Amino acid sequence: MTDLTADCFPTDFVAARAAFLESCETAGLSARAYPHPLAGPAGVELATDVVRIGPERAAKLLVVVSGVHGVELSLRRCRGLLEHGQ
């Protein structure tokens, strides 16, 4: 039996961010970065990446925040949501 945790969750911020941005690109979505003014450990750029799916003036909005502590949700594993809007 394999350790699913290793497959489901990136090991650090850099890996999680790269996976999220890769998933967005694969789905044809544009991410907007909001950089933090300070660098993270080892000089890593810290940022909040935002993607909007759907009409700009939608009557309803669902906000999903992930990665607050690095392991809450890996949107890379939710690729169906990004690719198919499900």
pLDDT band at 38 (very low <50, low <70, confident <90, very high): very high
Residue ranges of the domains in the chain? Answer: 4-84
The C-alpha atoms of residue 3 and residue 8 are separated, in whole angstroms, by 9
Q: Note the pLDDT of residue 72.
A: 47
Q: For 3-17, how does the pLDDT look when each residue is reduced to its tens digit (9 = 90+)?
A: 556 666 677 888 888
Q: Note the pLDDT of residue 33.
A: 94
pTM score, whole prediction: 0.66
Nearest to 47, CA basis, from 81, 75, 16, 82: 16
